[in-house]
Chain A
Amino acid sequence: MGIDFKVVAAIFRKDMRTYLGNPTGYVFLTLFIAATAAAAYLTEEFFARNLADLATLNTWMPAVLMFFVPAITMNAWAEERRAGTDELLLTLPVRDTEVVLGKYLGVLGMYTLSLGLSTSHIVVLAMLGDPDPGLMFATYAGYWLMGALFAAVGLVGSMFTMNATVAFILGGLGCAGLVFTGPLPWGGGTLPWASAMLGIAIIGLSSALVYFAVVGRSQGTAFAGLAGGAIAAVVWLSMGRSAELGEPNPFEETFARLSVWDHFDSFGEGVLRLGDLVYYVGGVAALLYLCAFLLGRRHW
């Protein structure tokens, strides 16, 4: 089973044209640049530090992307379903993987364009001081990878519904799971329960998928998911007792490792680690696989 890249390219071009074919696309681009600029410069810290880098933006970027990327992805599937065009698209001579890849590249293209235009921040830094090119490259590579992961999360969220608003919320919640498991940008430390929630969601979703794969029908899938999530919650709470003795909860610790922060900090310091690359690329691959799986089971 191969992939016909002509088909992928055709779907990519169609989606890019949709994003840029109406004013919303340009409003989005403008807002994105404005929001990142505000996060970078509209803070005393930027001037107090007196360093030509984007450290101030780094603390906010996951939170900014958490809203902006699902705004791109929310229409990816939801709009096709609402308009009924999925019925055209999926009855063409295309493979599910080609459709998923085309859709993903469309979203990624739009995000890459936004991020590319936001390199204006580097120009500003260059006017104020002398930013390190290597550090700037690593920082932007980190932004791009983080956005690429969020785009895959958003795409899965959009898969579940035909309502764009619901798709946005689902995508945002998914991204929030990866963001709130780390230090909050507005201070106040971490939210250990957020990583527990992420863990419960992942276990619940996995058990639903495993149930469906084994049993082969959709009846009871939601129940299996809820049951998996409930068991995970019990495990988490029972482990919580040891936390009273001053030990960290192992359940929370495990899923806190999935936090996007753990895999972004080093980029902000100009270091590219293989482990981080594996995290992003692996995450995207797993989520796109999930998309293709859900698409293949569209007869749910």
Chain B
Amino acid sequence: MTDDDAKQRHDGDGKDEPVAEDEARDEDATSATSADDEADAKATDAADDDEPEVAEAARVEVAASAKAKAKADDDDAPAKTTDRSKRPVTISAEGLSKFYGQFAALSNVTFSVRRGTVAAFLGPNGAGKSTTMRILTGFLAPTKGKASVLGLDPTIAEQRRELAKKLGYLPESGPLYRDMTPFESLSFFADVRSLAKPTKRIEAVVDRCAIGSVLHKPIYKLSKGYRQRVGMAQALLHDPEVLILDEPTSGLDPLQIREVRELIRELGREKTLLLSTHILQEVEAMADEVVLISEGKIAFTGTKAKLTKDATVEQRFYELADKHQKEVA
């Protein structure tokens, strides 16, 4: 996609966005920025500490306060964003690097996502978004660095297996078993996951992703939009705590994109979501936090409010990406 295309898309899509809601969210986030920084510093201190007990104590404290805050959230919705910075970290990448021979697909990627956050992983094609997600899900091992999701290390086989029970993953371009029908496919995943009430869960995700009408058609006959939704249904099947979605809206038409965005916002209330995109509009529409990556390096991480303080996401994106490219050169 060229820059012009991106811009057009941005402008065009923007019209059917629920602007008021977004603005409200942004304001919340802005007021939270200083608190965010403080908490980040605290967390970093704890992580740096040589004594794990101290770090653990800090984490417990954070978790406890998050719990108390979460309770308060119920009657006071706007407080939610302020509270986010104190929630426990569910997804963390520490100095992740991935080399293919001499080529560094990722170098020293560090970021973290807290519970109940929708984090957008933003970057141009080939920036290393999918590679990072593959590392977080345990499909690839990093050359260097440490990944951790829900406190589990995806490079250790048994921990990865535990993690997989609580993690929903939509790989890039939504691969599926083409000869199967969505129903057969979901039954297979329910089987492998040994779900307690498979029929009920399948019905729930079929309903949520609106694939009831194509349930018994072979997947290879389905349109791209339906396939993407079957992939989404697969990721949600076991009601996971954490969702990692690689370009969840790719190939969808504007109506479907709106549905997926609504779904993601809804899921983001209780779950942790990391979703990748190269469409700037997505960030405005869905994300609480932004991780901007360019050529395998982190260019920005923080709240959306911080990113958009004095410019639009789009301007910041080009600015950071350009600056980063110059640094690399």
Q: Provide the bound-state CA to CA distance between A88 and B300, in Å.
A: 29
Question: Which residues on the B side are within 8 Å of A87 (C-beta)?
Answer: 134, 139, 169, 171, 175
CB interface residues, B 160-209, toward A, < 8 Å: 161-162, 164-165, 167, 169, 171-173, 175-180, 184, 188-189, 191-194
Minimum distance in angstroms from B5 CB to a CB of chain A: 25
Question: Which residues on the B side are within 8 Å of A14 (C-beta)?
Answer: 177, 180, 188
Q: Provide the bound-state CA to CA distance between A154 and B21, in Å.
A: 57
Docked-complex contact B180 and A11, CB < 8 angstroms: no
Minimum distance in angstroms from A92 CB to a CB of chain B: 5
Q: Does A50 interact with chain B (Cβ within 8 Å)? A: no
Docked-complex contact B179 and A21, CB < 8 angstroms: yes
Q: Does A17 interact with chain B (Cβ within 8 Å)? A: yes
Minimum distance in angstroms from B27 CB to a CB of chain A: 37
Question: Which residues on the A side are within 8 Å of B192 (C-beta)?
Answer: 6-7, 10-11, 92-94
Q: Does A134 interact with chain B (Cβ within 8 Å)? A: no
Docked-complex contact B161 and A91, CB < 8 angstroms: no
Asked, given contacts A10-B192, A18-B177, A85-B175, whether A91 binds B157 with beta carbons under 8 Å apart, the answer is no
Q: Provide the bound-state CA to CA distance between A11 and B178, in Å.
A: 15
Q: Please, which residue of chain A has its CB at the minimum distance from the CB of B141? A: A299
Question: Which residues on the B side are within 8 Å of A21 (C-beta)?
Answer: 179-180
Question: Which residues on the B side are within 8 Å of A13 (C-beta)?
Answer: 188, 191
Q: Provide the bound-state CA to CA distance between A17 and B101, in Å.
A: 39
Q: Does A129 interact with chain B (Cβ within 8 Å)? A: no
A54-93, CB under 8 A of B: which get 1 and which 0?
0000000000000000000000000000011101101111
Q: Provide the bound-state CA to CA distance between A9 and B193, in Å.
A: 12
Docked-complex contact A93 and B193, CB < 8 angstroms: yes
Minimum distance in angstroms from A20 CB to a CB of chain B: 10
Interchain CB contact (< 8 A) of A92 among B101, B173, B176, B189: B189
Q: Provide the bound-state CA to CA distance between A94 and B158, in Å.
A: 9
Question: Which residues on the A side are within 8 Å of B137 (C-beta)?
Answer: 91
Question: Which residues on the B side are within 8 Å of A6 (C-beta)?
Answer: 191-192, 194
Asked, given contacts A10-B191, A10-B192, whether A91 binds B184 with beta carbons under 8 Å apart, the answer is no
Q: Please, which residue of chain A has its CB at the minimum distance from the CB of B238? A: A93
Docked-complex contact A10 and B178, CB < 8 angstroms: no
Q: Does A265 interact with chain B (Cβ within 8 Å)? A: no
Q: Please, which residue of chain A has its CB at the minimum distance from the CB of B135? A: A299
Q: Does A96 interact with chain B (Cβ within 8 Å)? A: yes
Q: Does B268 interact with chain A (Cβ within 8 Å)? A: no
Docked-complex contact A83 and B175, CB < 8 angstroms: yes
Question: Which residues on the A side are within 8 Å of B138 (C-beta)?
Answer: 90-91
Q: Provide the bound-state CA to CA distance between A13 and B173, in Å.
A: 25
Docked-complex contact B188 and A95, CB < 8 angstroms: no
Q: Does B57 interact with chain A (Cβ within 8 Å)? A: no
Q: Does B234 interact with chain A (Cβ within 8 Å)? A: yes
Docked-complex contact B169 and A85, CB < 8 angstroms: no
Q: Please, which residue of chain B has its CB at the minimum distance from the CB of A84? A: B175
Interchain CB contact (< 8 A) of B158 among A1, A4, A11, A92: A1
Docked-complex contact A88 and B171, CB < 8 angstroms: yes
Q: Provide the bound-state CA to CA distance between A243 and B57, in Å.
A: 75
Question: Which residues on the A side are within 8 Å of B68 (C-beta)?
Answer: none
Q: Please, which residue of chain A has its CB at the minimum distance from the CB of B170? A: A88
Docked-complex contact A84 and B173, CB < 8 angstroms: yes
Question: Which residues on the B side are within 8 Å of A91 (C-beta)?
Answer: 137-139, 164, 167, 169, 171
Asked, given contacts A10-B191, A22-B179, A84-B175, whether A96 binds B139 with beta carbons under 8 Å apart, the answer is no
- The 29 listed contacts between A and B (C-beta, < 8 Å) are A1-B158, A6-B192, A9-B191, A10-B192, A13-B188, A13-B191, A17-B179, A17-B184, A18-B180, A22-B179, A83-B175, A83-B176, A84-B171, A85-B177, A87-B134, A88-B175, A88-B176, A91-B164, A91-B169, A92-B189, A93-B161, A93-B164, A93-B165, A93-B193, A94-B192, A95-B157, A296-B157, A298-B139, A298-B140
B interface residue numbers (CB < 8 A to A): 101, 134, 137-141, 157-158, 161-162, 164-165, 167, 169, 171-173, 175-180, 184, 188-189, 191-194, 234
Excluding A92-B193, A93-B164, A94-B164, 20 further A-B contacts by CB distance (< 8 Å) are A6-B191, A6-B192, A9-B191, A13-B191, A14-B177, A18-B180, A83-B178, A84-B172, A84-B175, A85-B177, A87-B175, A88-B169, A91-B137, A91-B139, A92-B164, A92-B189, A93-B165, A95-B157, A298-B139, A299-B140
